[in-house]
């Protein structure tokens, strides 16, 4: 069987984070000076000249992508301050947290898990950009559809007796239900206080939002990465509780808007739907 290519949606997301740094105003929703270095010169140069990045669809998508990382990193900080020492970034793509670590994360062990070809592409880009991999960071290549997270993490010396933090951003929508359930039941089997922050593809309350979602679904399918599973907060919350999580919470639009988006001068749109949440064992 031919090996699957590196994720192209992961690079699209990196472009959105780099664009935020370059074309959006202050304060940054996510202060990420590393993403731009992971782009090739042509992609980087194209950002300022790409009017699509100012379309309402790509602004909403950009807000979603920035917000989910910000929310996850804030929860990780709280967990780290509370003594959590293992952080697993599932489907890491070009996530840059490990390469712009604040002081509070230096005591963490950070494990990036991704599809083997996507992980290889990221490590190549890091090398090409001369970005050093900090010594508290390691990599585990896994295909969630065929390999168990338990086996992959065990082989890398992950300590399953410790409370751990997982982030799983922009991945669930690309997986089939059994692969999603396998990841959730593994995390739910970890010690109490372990947590997963996740994002998911939910429906938008407006017709314009649903039309944007349709266009984005078409775009990612054309990249060979179709959305396979869309979820809604109600059933997803029930699934998480059934998997064994004791506490489930979602970032609601009023909360997201008040915390991250109100009063901006760059016109980035407010959030209309729930698409990010966290679950604690």
The footprint of ligand SAM (CB under 6 A) covers 7, 9-10, 13, 91-95, 114-115, 118, 142-145, 169-171, 174-175
Residue closest to ligand SAM when measured from CB atoms: 93
User: Among candidates 65, 59, 76, which has minimal Cα distance to 30?
Assistant: 65
The distance of closest approach from Cβ of residue 192 to ligand SAM in the complex, given in angstroms and rounded to an integer, is 26
The distance of closest approach from Cβ of residue 161 to ligand SAM in the complex, given in angstroms and rounded to an integer, is 25
The distance of closest approach from Cβ of residue 36 to ligand SAM in the complex, given in angstroms and rounded to an integer, is 14
Q: 82 with 165: CB under 8 angstroms? A: no
Closer Cβ to ligand SAM, 193 or 219, answer by number: 219
Closer Cβ to ligand SAM, 59 or 112, answer by number: 112
Helical H runs in the chain? 8-23, 41-46, 56-81, 116-128, 149-155, 177-188, 207-222, 233-243, 253-256
Closer Cβ to ligand SAM, 12 or 163, answer by number: 12
Q: For residue 85, give Cα distances in angstroms to 4, 19, 82.
A: 33, 32, 9
Closer Cβ to ligand SAM, 10 or 243, answer by number: 10
Closer Cβ to ligand SAM, 168 or 250, answer by number: 168
Q: For residue 126, give Cα distances in angstroms to 39, 49, 141, 260.
A: 10, 25, 16, 29
The distance of closest approach from Cβ of residue 205 to ligand SAM in the complex, given in angstroms and rounded to an integer, is 23
């Amino acid at each position: 069987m031919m090996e699957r290519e590196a994720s192209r949606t992961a690079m699209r997301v990196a472009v959105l984070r780099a664009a935020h740094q370059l074309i959006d105003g202050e304060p940054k929703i996510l202060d990420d000076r590393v993403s731009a270095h992971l782009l090739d010169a042509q992609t980087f140069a194209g950002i300022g000249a790409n009017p699509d990045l100012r379309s309402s669809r790509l602004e909403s998508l950009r807000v979603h992508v920035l917000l989910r990382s910000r929310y996850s990193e804030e929860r990780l900080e709280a967990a780290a301050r509370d003594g959590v020492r293992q952080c697993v970034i599932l489907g890491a793509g070009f996530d840059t947290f490990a390469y712009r670590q604040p002081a509070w994360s230096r005591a963490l062990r950070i494990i990036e898990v991704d599809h083997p070809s996507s992980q290889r592409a990221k490590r190549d880009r890091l090398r090409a950009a001369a970005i050093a991999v900090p010594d508290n960071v390691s990599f585990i290549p896994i295909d969630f559809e065929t390999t168990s997270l338990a086996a992959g993490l065990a082989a890398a010396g992950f300590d399953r007796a410790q409370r751990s933090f997982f982030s799983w951003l922009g991945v669930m929508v690309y997986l089939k239900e059994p692969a999603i359930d396998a990841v959730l039941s593994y995390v739910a089997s970890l010690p109490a206080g372990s947590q997963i922050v996740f994002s998911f593809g939910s429906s938008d309350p407006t017709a314009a939002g649903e039309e944007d979602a349709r266009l984005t679904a078409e775009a990612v399918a054309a990249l060979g990465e179709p959305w396979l599973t869309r979820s809604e907060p109600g059933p997803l919350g029930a699934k998480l509780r059934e998997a064994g999580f004791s506490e489930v919470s979602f970032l609601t639009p009023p909360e997201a808007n008040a915390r991250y988006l109100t009063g901006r001068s760059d016109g980035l749109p407010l959030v209309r739907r729930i698409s990010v949440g966290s679950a604690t064992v």
